[in-house]
Structure 1
Amino acid sequence: MVTNATGDERANPLAGKRAKGQAYLEFLADMHGAIGPDWYLEVGTQTGKSLLAADCACVSVDPEFTLKHEIMGAKPGLMLFQDTSDRFFESGFLDRLGVRFDLAFLDGMHLYEYLLRDFMNAEGYMTKGGTVVMHDCLPFEPSMAERDRRNAKTRAWTGDVWKVIPILREYRPDLEITVYDAAPTGLTIIRNLDPGNTVLRDRYDEIIAKYDQITDVTTQVRAFEVVSTDRSPWKGGAAAKTSAPRRMALPAPALTAVTSASSVAAAPVFPKGDGPLSFVIQTAAPNARVMPNWGDYFFAKGLAEALERQGHKARIQARNRWNVSEAPGEIDIVLRGRADYARRGSTPTLYWVISGGEHVPRPELEQADHIFVAGKALADRWSRQVGADKVSVMWQAFDATRMPMPPERVKRTGIVFVGIARKMRPIVQIAMQTRYSLKLWGNGWRETEAAKYVVADRIDNDDLGGLYTGAEIVLNDQTRIMRKAGLVSNRIFDALACGAPVVTTPTGGLPEDFRPFVTEVSTPEEFTEAVRAIRAETKEQRAARDAFARKMRETHSFDARASEVLAKVTELRDIKLAAE
């Protein structure tokens, strides 16, 4: 029900009439005046009209600006990024900028999963007393809330971003959420933010699976508690800022930029001579302090040590030092994570995409000298975009110094899974519907139905090999993004290298030599049959598994991958020398 301060009924959402409150741009202007933000973030700027009220330092993101207004005004700084919001937040620019926003306005793509990601990402860069404003959560006619804009019977289109309100109320009850009937399609004000909260990110797949099924827009939106107002409460009201706003100085002159996260590729300059090469492995970890907590760090460490065993130099850098050079003639190996990478000028640049990859923009692909992809499906897709000679499959790997071969007569026991819970892993959920007992290591499991199976909240990386060499079965699952790209989890490589059978949810594409030793399951019945088959394996089958574990040292270890990297660098250098 929509009510005003006296309790009178107003135009109900989805009654065929637009919201009757103050026009949303005037409402937003009142908020700017009252809050007096030092920094303002805007997702979805388009013509620039929504930027006019801001007179502070601003960051604006839009995939296709069509500016029609003089938006600089008295702003001390304005940065415009012509890119999708997903790629912008993944680029790491805000980490490098090092600011926190007091006010953010989210008016991007009108599909709920996009707005949810925009909120998740924006909240991480807000001040604790900051305010996030979301637009278009009050459709006034059912068809305008259709996911396909072509089905809207009205000129305006809100899409299904209304779903973000019940999502936040269900999963983030700590937030203060107020929906106003700002004309024509409402404004949602969110306060009491917690930049360090990861609930939405941790449970994202669960949320999407649930809310994809919720389509009754009329019932849902009419249940909203909507505050009506002829004038926003920020117009000299209690919500107004009582002290004079601070202004964060920017270097003069004020910065105005229209850019994307990627840079133009420069011709690589390879070191001359036959001496040792110097590699920099660039990870997406924000800084060195947190880097050891990132899974990619151990991956980078395994590759660096393998390169050093072959006589070369290698070091690992976090995102805040991506542009740092410590020696001439360095070669970058980018472990592409959830952050866009800008090439370091003429530094030879190789990518190794081991996870994600769904949102890497084409200009970024084009700036690389070569792209290794740990999955055939994604490699094939990118080959069509940037050329088959620039992309090749290079699977993930295992560290042979930490994943030992098992003793010949070891007795294997336990069905084990190592990894964070993410609310509930699909493979564990399937296993729990069978009669088999499990052993779990990882954060988050004690708050789930699987709590009784928890052995410890973590296991040291150096102890993981010992666990796998004695495990009867190692469980694995794949995220939706990895499965779509055919990127096979590093966990499978580790387990097979220790001679352990693997049971996993569908992977999207295993290396051919893995198929005899990995069982993919989707149901409890398939899981039960897989366990029975493994327990009934013959001596010959066991010997074949152990032989494959030994063979993996030659084919799938970090030493093998280091050799592939070195061969590609030699090839690229020879091609460049021949062209000079």
Structure 2
Amino acid sequence: MKIAIKNPAPIGPNLEKWGDYHFGLALAKSLEKLGATVVQHFWPNWDDDDGEDMVILLRGKRSYTPPPSKLSLIWIISHPGTIKYDEISKFDMVYVASETHYKAIRSLPGLTVDVARQCTDTSVFFADGQDKLRRDVSFVANSRGVRREVLSWAVGAGTPVHVVGRHWGNLGLGHLVKSQYIDNDALPGFYRRTRLTLNDHWSDMAHFGYINNRIFDCLACGTPILTDEFSELRTVCGDGILYASDMDSFGAAIEEYLLDYPSVLGRAQQLWQRIGANYSFDARAAQIWDWATTTHSLRNSLCYDAGGVRTASSEPLTSIIGKAVDALRKAGVTREVQTLHLCPTPWGTSSLFANKEISYLSGGFGRGPWHVLMDSQMGGLADKHFDMIVIEPTDNLAELVGQDQVGFAKRLASKLNKDGVVIAPSAQAKTLFTGWKGVKADMATPFALLQPKAPKA
């Protein structure tokens, strides 16, 4: 699969100084390990098309509308306060970098949402065990014209800080700056020689629960952190890092750092041992790759119905599945209901899995995320085996069946037990299952419950 990363780092002489540039490179490297071919499109060249199958938008300051013809994923890694529903609803998958944000939007209609917090490149950010060589309290950040609270607290507490960053002079803090910029290649070594790193979050990041990647970069290097605090950060890091919310708590944290550094260092390193495997780019790439390959496979199968995906809902199907199971029980079926699910969607699969009375097998025409690869003859399935066959809505079904509608219905009927039933989209039931019991039922409902007519004695 070919993937294009829409990277917000702007093309120009300072391209490689942007954090987004290195974020995109690390993600690309991890995706390529899994077999992807990856290209990067830097701002403003987001309209470039290299024949990719999928686009990933790293959503920072800039929005983007993906082409409908390509699989699309938006990963919101910063500036969550600028996100609008109309923007993210155009993507097939929405990754948000916090559980807090996930809970806020997961129930919005038409969205598929998952949590993918920020992470680090563990191939370059790692501890070397040389903790005796650590020196200084550091802060790597640009001012952006703001006197950052954590640095103000440090000054107020009389804590010497080694600052790396730009635009501090106008705020009266230029005397703390040791260098304006540090190369990304040198940053891991810098953290490995730092005794304590100061960290803070922009207000919108903290409000939405977004943990910045400096936390994970430092932890991966075995470096203790003193940071501002919010609920999600405490949930993830617990007492593995130090927190401050005002001058007093900053002073208390610095005192703990000075008086009990072995404990502060040990807690940080133990925290990374516990969580590190889940906060690497390799872990995020695996999460993306698993979703992308499954979804891409489905789209390339003959079962895929692009028109129906966005409007799919599990509620009508859940209801009629319950009715079908009740009917089978009344007919004398006492075992688990043997069920074949044709052309499954995630919504339909969840409906069937939710019913504990069902023994589940999925099948599709062409390669896809199902158990059995079938052809139109359904020759690989046992006759008179299934109590229930569930067919999901897809405009491709008529094309698959072709002119042999009567033959298809007969083959389907041959797979059913004596009292077996078929759940099919009402719109297609009239055409494909003419003469079956139930076809004249209420066709205003999305699904029909059908049975082949018993042969005359």
What TM-score results when the alignment is normalised by the length of structure 1?
Answer: 0.49
Residue of structure 2 equivalent to 1:413: 135
User: Is structure 2 residue 246 aligned with structure 1 residue 523?
Assistant: yes
What letter matches 1:296 in structure 2? Answer: D
User: Is structure 2 residue 18 aligned with structure 1 residue 294?
Assistant: yes
2:28 match: secondary structure: helix
What letter matches 2:81 in structure 1? Answer: E
Q: RMSD of the TM alignment (CA)?
A: 2.2
Residue of structure 2 equivalent to 1:400: 122
Question: In the aligned structure 2, how far is the partner of 1:508 from the partner of 1:319?
Answer: 34
Structure-2 change in CA distance of 1:301 and 1:508 (3 Å)? farther
Alignment of 1:489-568 (within 5 A): 489-507=212-230, 509-510=232-233, 512-537=235-260, 539=262, 542-568=265-291
Alignment of 1:85-484 (within 5 A): 277-287=1-11, 290-327=14-51, 329-386=52-109, 390-423=112-145, 424-484=147-207
* Offset of residue 289 of structure 1: 5.1
Report if the CA contact (8 A) 2:98-2:211 is conserved: yes
> Percent same amino acid among aligned pairs?
25
What letter matches 2:118 in structure 1? Answer: Q
* Offset of residue 551 of structure 1: 4.8
Count, aligned residues: 302
Question: In the aligned structure 2, how far is the partner of 1:538 from the partner of 1:518?
Answer: 12
What letter matches 2:23 in structure 1? Answer: F
Residue number among 206, 209, 234 corresponding to 1:486 in the alignment:
209
1:385 match: secondary structure: coil
* Offset of residue 505 of structure 1: 1.7
Any gaps of 5 or more consecutive residues in structure 1? 1-276
Question: In the aligned structure 1, how far is the partner of 2:255 from the partner of 2:138?
Answer: 16
Question: In the aligned structure 2, how far is the partner of 1:521 from the partner of 1:455?
Answer: 24
Question: In the aligned structure 2, how far is the partner of 1:351 from the partner of 1:547?
Answer: 32
- Which protein has greater RCO, CA pairs closer than 8 Å, 6+ apart? 1
Structure-2 change in CA distance of 1:454 and 1:296 (3 Å)? same
1:158-184, Cα deviation, whole Å (9 max, x unpaired): xxxxxxxxxxxxxxxxxxxxxxxxxxx
Question: In the aligned structure 2, how far is the partner of 1:506 from the partner of 1:540?
Answer: 20
* Offset of residue 574 of structure 1: 5.3
Question: In the aligned structure 2, how far is the partner of 1:508 from the partner of 1:444?
Answer: 30
1:503-536, Cα deviation, whole Å (9 max, x unpaired): 1123452173422222221212111111222334
Question: In the aligned structure 1, how far is the partner of 2:151 from the partner of 2:132?
Answer: 25
Structure-2 change in CA distance of 1:461 and 1:416 (3 Å)? same
What letter matches 2:207 in structure 1? Answer: K
Structure-2 change in CA distance of 1:428 and 1:366 (3 Å)? same
Structure-2 change in CA distance of 1:554 and 1:316 (3 Å)? same
* Offset of residue 391 of structure 1: 0.9
Question: In the aligned structure 1, how far is the partner of 2:207 from the partner of 2:182?
Answer: 29
Any gaps of 5 or more consecutive residues in structure 2? 302-342, 345-393, 395-457
Question: In the aligned structure 1, how far is the partner of 2:131 from the partner of 2:8?
Answer: 41
What letter matches 2:89 in structure 1? Answer: E
Question: In the aligned structure 1, how far is the partner of 2:57 from the partner of 2:134?
Answer: 38
2:132 match: secondary structure: coil
Question: In the aligned structure 1, how far is the partner of 2:265 from the partner of 2:105?
Answer: 38
Greater than 6 Å deviation, 4+ residue runs? none
What letter matches 1:398 in structure 2? Answer: T
State which structure, 1 or 2, has the greater radius of gyration over its C-alpha atoms.
2
